[in-house]
Chain A
């Protein structure tokens, strides 16, 4: 085990105490309460505009909360922190710096030797001298992941990092992220549209609806997880149904009234 793995320090404990965020009159996030244990992998799902990205930006320190407190390892925090790194949906590599120089961005000179090792780990060991424009979408996200991990973050925030990738690359990247997370032991918070991705990666899936936590579901599946597994599929379906606000499968037919009645009840057109 090398210098890059910091299992001793591990991930942070993250606590959100009644966190709210308002943009003008619009309340995007309401009274959010959440506890995340050190080293836990939590996925946040929800429809567009539900406030999940805002939650991530609040945790990152890119936005300040309108009310409530954010605690890390039991201390109140605000603003950007050096133990936290973000991976964005667009890789946000600086196009005028070669891959290696992107990975070492903001890294103290004495830690520059880590860069080659991290690039090796994400499978870009031989691409350090290339311009980002020469990389494919998946390779750019790998470089972006390397840039985040080279700082040995204790909290990694992932803002839909795989949203723009094709299906195959996405599965590869999920496996890579899981492997590196298992190895380094940081706390991870993943925002995603993709319920399957959430179930594949997270210990816990949280659904946010209209600025509130609507569901907090543990994922008790053993790792590595396979997408074809029946338990996996069932859990994914249940969460997906909840996201789409379908009625629960275990509600008996009698509760719904006669078949054919819309869930919301009947409307009369007079």
Chain B
């Protein structure tokens, strides 16, 4: 889990005919820019079009997969009735609260064990042991402890997001260049200044990798927790729709999870781009 996968900004290479006579040269930068933006959307658009066509020609039963326009209509109806927002709000609140509790604890304990040798000896091996228990394996125990109310879901999410952030924070603190710390000491930085200007910024890229892992896990655990038992939330919406064979609503729920996951990841990447803007790997070419 400590592997640091960093996605470098990549620009898609637009496909265009390369004849000088085909297109006036002053238009080329425009097509290159637009092509770069649009190209990633091409495959999803083709897929949706194919799906729509398959449904319209009756090749695909609406019980298996309703047409995209049906799904859109269901989403619209849910949005209009206000149900959609209620469920999205409940789910997002659960996810964020769980992240705040578990991630916050992971950050604080990671900073502690990373910086204080005695804390590492005392705590780290226990965490390494607990880390190997999948959060979902705790479900039976959690139901016994908390029943099936909110605290059970929060607990599961908090446990799951704790470890990626804890491990990456610990690793980040430990991999700060000792030469920089020594330099800071010789330049008369106090302990706190050393922490704030040298150690914490040095660990930040690793901490953000942990955050991105956690965000991914956060939605997975939320979905499972909400489908097991809930009276509200996106999971409840889809499970309820399943009972009434409303495949379109089920699809709306699934797409909502995808959208929220994408949003969270986009947020984490924006944080990376801002906080790590000094890093050549994050200086966006665009």
Contact = CB atoms under 8 A, between A and B. Distances in A.
A95 to B, nearest CB: 5
B179 A94 contact: no
Interface string A99-136: 00000011000000000000000000000000111000
A92 interface: yes
A233 interface: no
Contact of A94 (B180, B182, B188, B279): B180
B197 interface: yes
Contact of B189 (A88, A96, A98, A106): A106
B56 interface: no
Given A106-B188, A133-B280, A96 B193 contact: no
Nearest to B198: A94
Interface in B170-197: 179-180, 182-189, 193, 197
**Central interface residue in B182, B204, B277, by most chain A CB within 10 Å:** B182
B278 A96 contact: yes
Given A88-B179, A105-B197, A106-B193, A95 B185 contact: no
Interface string B91-117: 000000000000000000000000000
Contacts of A96: 201-202, 204, 276, 278-279
Contacts of B277: 131
A21 to B, nearest CB: 17
Contacts of A86: 183, 186
Nearest to A92: B183
Given A62-B182, A133-B279, A133-B280, A97 B188 contact: no
B186 A62 contact: yes
Contacts of A77: none
A264 B271 CA distance: 67
Contacts of B279: 95-96, 133
B171 to A, nearest CB: 18
State the main secondary structure of chain B at its contact with A. Answer: helix
Given A82-B188, A97-B197, A105-B197, A133 B278 contact: yes
Contacts of A80: 185-186, 188
Contacts, number: 53
Nearest to B280: A133
B180 A92 contact: yes
B186 A131 contact: no
Contacts of B276: 96
B280 A92 contact: no
Contacts of B179: 88, 90, 92
A96 B188 CA distance: 19
Chain A interface bracket (under 10, 10 to 19, 20 to 34, 35 or more): 20 to 34
Given A92-B183, A97-B197, A105 B189 contact: yes
Interface string B253-279: 000000000000000000000001111
Q: Which of A98, A132, A133, A151 has the most chain B CB atoms closer than 10 A to its own CB?
A: A133
A98 to B, nearest CB: 8
A127 to B, nearest CB: 14
A134 to B, nearest CB: 8
A191 interface: no
A131 B279 CA distance: 8
A57 to B, nearest CB: 9
A80 B181 CA distance: 14
A60 interface: yes
A95 B278 contact: yes
A115 to B, nearest CB: 13
B194 to A, nearest CB: 10
Interface string A209-249: 00000000000000000000000000000000000000000
A135 to B, nearest CB: 12
Nearest to A95: B278
A80 B189 CA distance: 11
A88 B183 CA distance: 9
Contacts of B188: 80, 82, 106
- For the complex of A and B, list the 10 residue pairs with the smallest distance between their C-beta atoms, beginning with the closest: A106-B187, A92-B183, A96-B201, A96-B278, A131-B278, A106-B188, A133-B280, A106-B189, A86-B186, A92-B179
Given A62-B186, A132-B278, 4 more contacts: A62-B185, A82-B188, A84-B186, A88-B179
Interface of B: 179-180, 182-189, 193, 197-198, 201-202, 204, 276-280
5 contacts: A82-B188, A86-B183, A92-B179, A92-B182, A106-B188
